[in-house]
Amino acid sequence: MKEQAVAKVYAKALLELGDEAKISIADELTKLTEVINTSNELENVLFLEVFTTDEKQAVFADIAKKLNLSPITTETIKFLVDEKRVGILPLIVKEVIVIDDERRGFIKGTIEGNAEAIDDATKNKIVSFLKAKLGREPKLEFKKNVNMTAGFKVTVEDLQLDASLDNQLEQFKNSVLSE
């Protein structure tokens, strides 16, 4: 929990610095994350304590140059390496993306169901309902949940709408037993 709070502080500071310099920090960190995720060796060098700070700095400097990262992003990650806090970089990136999406008016969520996919008409109805309720456009991803009998469960931030048959049966059972 402490690391999450620290990551949020770094993310807010990075985004503010990026705004002042008119740089999209979210795009830069997304690019960097994609490169790190494609190379186990690079991930090992940056995140394992087997390598020295100088080795990590040298490798990162090459990556930053090739990706044409801004001085703000480059210096921030160098600072994280120096302070032995580079391990929270994935949390910082996640927080930057979340804050950036919120600024743009987007929110992310999931739709769970037992089918292979959700039809566009149903998804559009759910998106319209959530947009009216939340005042922002949700980006919803469908996930198959084999434990559900029928229906859907929608989760967006801390809002959960459960229109599954399992939930309805549970509510019915509770209402019958409470009488």
Q: What is the CATH number of the domain that holds 171?
A: 3.40.30
| Averaged pLDDT score across all residues of the chain | 82
Q: For position 4, what pLDDT does the model report?
A: 82
Residue 85 shares a structural domain with residue 35: yes
Residue reference for tokens 């044409």 = 68
DSSP letters, 25-50, are HHHHHHHHHHHHHH-HHHHHHHH-TT
Task: Please say if the pLDDT value at position 168 is more than 80.
Answer: no
Residue 66 shares a structural domain with residue 122: no
Distance (Å, whole) CA 102 – CA 53: 35
Task: Please say if the pLDDT value at position 83 is more than 70.
Answer: yes
The per-residue pLDDT for range 132-165, each reduced to its tens digit, is: 877 777 878 888 887 877 877 888 877 777 777 7
Residue 6 shares a structural domain with residue 80: yes
Q: For position 144, what pLDDT does the model report?
A: 81
- Looking at 78, 102, 126, which one is the last position of a domain? 102
Q: Which amino acid is present at 34?
A: E
Residue 97 shares a structural domain with residue 121: no
Q: What is the mean predicted confidence (pLDDT) over 94-100?
A: 85
Q: For position 8, what pLDDT does the model report?
A: 86
- Looking at 102, 123, 145, which one is the last position of a domain? 102
- Percent above pLDDT 70 for the chain: 99
Residue 119 pLDDT level (bands cut at 50, 70, 90): confident
Q: For position 169, what pLDDT does the model report?
A: 77
- Looking at 70, 102, 134, which one is the last position of a domain? 102
Which residues form the domain of 132?
Answer: 106-177
The per-residue pLDDT for range 4-26, each reduced to its tens digit, is: 888 888 888 888 888 888 888 88
Residue 22 shares a structural domain with residue 96: yes
Pair 138, 109: CB distance under 8 Å: yes
Among the listed residues 43, 23, 47, 26, the one whose alpha carbon sits nearest the alpha carbon of residue 35:
43
Residue 136 shares a structural domain with residue 59: no
Residue 28 shares a structural domain with residue 65: yes
Residue reference for tokens 């302070």 = 83
Q: What is the mean predicted confidence (pLDDT) over 43-52?
A: 82
Distance (Å, whole) CA 125 – CA 122: 5
> pTM value?
0.63
Look up the CATH number of the domain holding residue 20. Answer: 1.10.520.20
Pairing of strands 106-113, 137-144: parallel
Q: Please tell me the total count of domains within the chain.
A: 2
Residue 9 shares a structural domain with residue 70: yes
Residue 118 shares a structural domain with residue 144: yes
